[in-house]
């Protein structure tokens, strides 16, 4: 498949645009990525997401986002993006003594 | 009110949803895309679930030892009380969606009114069904517009479906003595009172879809009296064969 991530509107005749689905679980936390659906419009994407991902009461709210609107890091980014975090222990606050009476 | 009239009325409500639910289930594994396949199966299960509750209530009103399963699987076509529109073969996707839309708008109005039924059992079923049905309306209306304004092919098919189905819509609103009796007692709703609101909701969607109604023609009817098209018998033979071959089977 061509590496075409720049358009939301049917770049392939046989395939509808892809949408990413985010569900907010009933406990009221942040929306989490659940998967993706094909749809021609936002309303249709919302309905498909409802039917595919929230049939068993998994959600109180759904977001759908055109997959093409997401800019993602690539595997090649892994080194420069994430490795520097590993050797900077001062970014991890585990050296602090927690005062008594403070619950973590 | 005689319990006979209420039983007949509940059969109409239950059979409408059982027959349409079965027709819709025929799409399982054949939907145009995976997402829509799941959506149609969900709606089908909603309808069959509603039918099960309604036929169960019907059986208890009748009080002759039948239950929802015997009503669903051991009656012949002539004993079914569904509207003719709902037993027609599933056709293409445009036909299925158009029928779903025309019926769901009717069903939502019916269930909304039935929430106030004097019969608490029916009122409870209606409240549950209304939530599901409002989604069915939203799903099918969205598709009617999508197909209507889509390609020349999808528009042609949607228009053809509307032309074929329109002459069956009159039966949804045709009231007879059964309807008038249950409406008078406050147990049911006279369907003829729902037609103005139905038109008010259906027409704007058809307009947005660019579809034309060929109005004022002859309206087909007969289902409420057990006079069905040949299609229902074929459908029932498939729907009922398992229960009739293995009576009382469970799994």
pLDDT at position A7 is: 44
The Cα–Cα gap between B90 and B145 comes to 19
Q: Which residues of B touch A51 (CB under 8 A)?
A: 35, 38-39, 42
3-class SS at B46?
helix
Residues 6+ apart with CB under 8 A from A22: A31, A32, A33, A34, A62, A63, A64, A65
Q: Is the pLDDT of residue A11 over 50?
A: no
pLDDT at position B91 is: 97
Average predicted confidence (pLDDT) for chain A = 81
Where does the pLDDT of residue A101 fall: very low under 50, low under 70, confident under 90, or very high at 90 and above?
confident
Q: Is A31 left (phi over 0), alpha (psi -120 to 50) or beta?
A: beta
Residue A35 β-bridge partners:
A21
Measured in degrees and rounded to the nearest 5, phi and psi for residue A71 equal -100, 120
CA dihedral B93, B206, B141, B110 (to 10 degrees): -110
The Cα–Cα gap between A47 and B38 comes to 11
Please check whether residue B12 touches A, CB under 8 A. Answer: no
**Residue closest to B175 by CA, chosen among B128, B126, B241, B110:** B110
The 10s digit of each residue's pLDDT in B178-224 is 999 999 999 999 999 999 999 999 999 999 999 999 876 789 999 99
The Cα–Cα gap between B213 and B26 comes to 27
Please check whether residue B152 touches A, CB under 8 A. Answer: no
The 10s digit of each residue's pLDDT in A33-50 is 999 999 999 999 999 999
- Most B CBs within 10 Å: which of A9, A42, A47, as the mutation test of the B interface? A47
The 10s digit of each residue's pLDDT in B4-42 is 999 999 999 999 999 999 999 999 999 988 999 999 999
Please check whether residue B1 touches A, CB under 8 A. Answer: no
The pTM of the whole model exceeds 0.90: no
Please check whether residue A39 touches B, CB under 8 A. Answer: yes
B3-217+228-245 to CATH, choices 1.20.1260.10, 2.60.40.10, 3.30.450.20, 3.90.850.10: 1.20.1260.10
Q: Which residues of B touch A40 (CB under 8 A)?
A: 146
Measured in degrees and rounded to the nearest 5, phi and psi for residue A26 equal -55, -30
Q: Which residues of A touch B39 (CB under 8 A)?
A: 47-48, 51
Q: What percent of chain A has pLDDT over 70?
A: 85
Cα dihedral sign for A80, A86, A87, A88? positive
Measured in degrees and rounded to the nearest 5, phi and psi for residue A38 equal -95, 140
């Amino acid at each position: 498949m061509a590496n075409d991530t720049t358009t939301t509107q049917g770049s392939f005749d046989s395939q509808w645009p892809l949408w990413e689905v985010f569900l907010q679980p009933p406990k009221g936390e942040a929306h989490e990525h659940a998967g993706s659906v094909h749809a021609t419009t936002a309303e249709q994407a919302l309905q498909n997401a409802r039917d595919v991902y929230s049939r068993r009461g998994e959600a109180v709210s759904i977001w759908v986002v055109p997959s093409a609107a997401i800019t993602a890091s690539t595997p090649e980014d892994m080194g420069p993006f994430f490795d520097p975090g590993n050797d900077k222990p001062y970014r991890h606050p585990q050296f602090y003594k927690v005062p008594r009476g403070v619950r973590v | 009110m005689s319990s006979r009239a209420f039983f007949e009325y509940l059969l109409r409500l239950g059979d409408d949803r059982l027959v349409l639910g079965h027709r819709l289930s025929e799409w399982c594994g054949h939907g145009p895309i995976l997402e829509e396949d799941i959506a149609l199966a969900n709606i089908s299960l909603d309808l069959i679930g509603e039918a099960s509750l309604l036929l169960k209530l019907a059986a208890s009103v009748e009080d002759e030892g039948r239950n929802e399963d015997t009503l669903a699987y051991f009656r012949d076509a002539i004993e079914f009380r569904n509207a003719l529109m709902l037993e027609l073969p599933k056709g293409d996707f445009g036909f299925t969606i158009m029928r779903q839309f025309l019926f769901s708008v009717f069903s939502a109005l019916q269930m909304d009114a039935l929430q106030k039924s004097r019969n608490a059992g029916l009122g409870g079923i209606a409240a549950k069904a209304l939530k599901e049905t409002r989604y069915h309306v939203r799903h099918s209306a969205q598709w009617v517009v999508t197909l209507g304004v889509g390609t020349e092919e999808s528009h042609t098919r949607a228009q053809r479906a509307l032309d074929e189905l329109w002459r069956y819509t009159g039966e949804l609103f045709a009231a007879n003595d059964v309807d008038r009796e249950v409406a008078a007692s406050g147990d049911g709703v006279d369907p003829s009172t729902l037609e103005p609101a139905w038109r008010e909701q259906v027409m704007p969607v058809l307009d947005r879809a660019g579809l034309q109604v060929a109005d004022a023609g002859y309206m087909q009817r007969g289902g409420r009296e057990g006079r069905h098209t040949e299609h229902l018998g074929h459908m029932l033979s498939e729907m009922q064969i398992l229960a009739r071959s293995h009576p009382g089977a469970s799994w």
